[in-house]
Amino acid sequence: MLPLAPPVHHHHPGLCAAAPAPSPQGRSPPPLRARSRLRCRPGRTPAVAARARPPSARAGETETSAADDDASSASSSGGSVLSFLCPLLKFIGGGDPSQERNDFVEVTTSSLSSLARLPWGSSVSTSSGNAPTLQLYEFEACPFCRRVREAMTELDLSAEVYPCPKGSLRHRDVVKKIGGKEQFPLLVDASNGVTMYESGDIVKYLFRQYGQGKNPSFGLLERSPLRVLIIGYRNNILTTMLIQNTFQDSTVMLDKFPVIFGCSQGWVPTLLRAGRGMTLWNKAGVVPEDKLELFSFENNTFARIVREALCELEVPYILQNVGEGSSKTDLLQRISGSKQVPYLIDPNTGFQSGDHKKILSYLFQQYSTTG
């Protein structure tokens, strides 16, 4: 198992005023310049992984770190559905993600995914000012993780993202050490000493802590108006059922039927994207010395494709959310000459690009064990 690279913060100098996040080691990252310091680490060093562990929640913070029984049941059932769907979606998606793709299909399915999740994760509802950079352990295809990322876009928050795809070589092991179980998403807010699972609890915590008094919209929570088409086998008969269930557990009847469609619960992108951003690519394993930096917002068609690749490569990165109305828009324009996302910066090599196809080609070449 490969070790997790020590979490070195890399921020563009102009970003500091908007979202200061001091390095936990108390030292500044190297300036952006062309260099290649990539390492492929075949062995695992427990001491390094331990150093990467963020602080746990303090004993007095059980209110924000403990999940209620219903939320735990929802995540557990959802995880079972993902386990069921993962090999099926991988088979349907097919192909090597590093090979040239049909861009029409990629953009179309990602665009439909964005339409399915409108309006969530597209614009800033309130700015949290000088909020710290959070740490998020998640994987792109997970619908529960998606709602947390949508909330971060709406709150104009930045995050250190540690992708945890199925087959993870590093970050899933770290999650177990932090919280004692392999469950996603996991949020670490080191500035407040909070570590917590459960997407619903995380969303409510983020809005309570950084939302300037605003409450999360219904689509960001696990309990929400729900119309869901369910297809599955029961008593050896293929059955289709439409359930309308308002403000009830989103995992109703998941023990009998796998969920195939559920707009308000965030499953559509997972299905339309055929499991992209779900499993580790078999040639992944190169660990960047410094974290990459991605300007993105959650519901952007092209940024989604780039985030999926970063997840499949298990490459940690700093996520700068730049939804409509973001305080970081002017900075993005100064850096890239445009307000368009995605825009990727790799401080290890000096690579910078806002073209999703060029970014994909670069990532799979630079961060493969055979590249």
For the record, the structure tokens of 172 come out as 């899933």
Domain membership flag for residue 129: no
Could you tell me if residue 112 is inside a domain?
no
State the pLDDT confidence band at 175, using cuts at 50, 70 and 90.
very high
Q: Look at 56 and 295; give whichever has higher pLDDT.
A: 295
In a domain, 38, yes or no: no
Domain count of the fold of the chain: 1
Q: Flag whether 64 is in a domain.
A: no
On whether residue 201 sits in a domain, the answer given is: yes
Q: How confident is the model at residue 222 (pLDDT cuts 50, 70, 90)?
A: low
Distance CA(133)–CA(7), nearest Å, equals 12
Structure tokens belonging to residue 191: 């500035």
Domain of residue 144: give its range.
134-220+271-367
Phi and psi of 87, rounded to 5°? -65, -30
CATH of the domain at 182: 3.40.30.10
Calculate the CA 212 to chain-centre distance: 24
199 found inside a domain: yes
The least confident of 46-55, 276-285, 357-366 is: 46-55
Per-residue model confidence as pLDDT tens digits over 98-119:
888 889 989 999 999 999 888 8
Q: How many helices (H) and strands (E) does the chain have?
A: 11, 13
To which residue do tokens 């179980």 refer? 181
Share of the chain above pLDDT 90, in %: 50
Going by C-alpha positions, the residue among 329, 370, 363, 328 that lies closest to residue 345 is 363
Let me know: does 120 contact 269? Beta carbons within 8 Å: no
Query: Does the residue 312 lie in any domain?
Result: yes
Does 321 map to a domain? yes
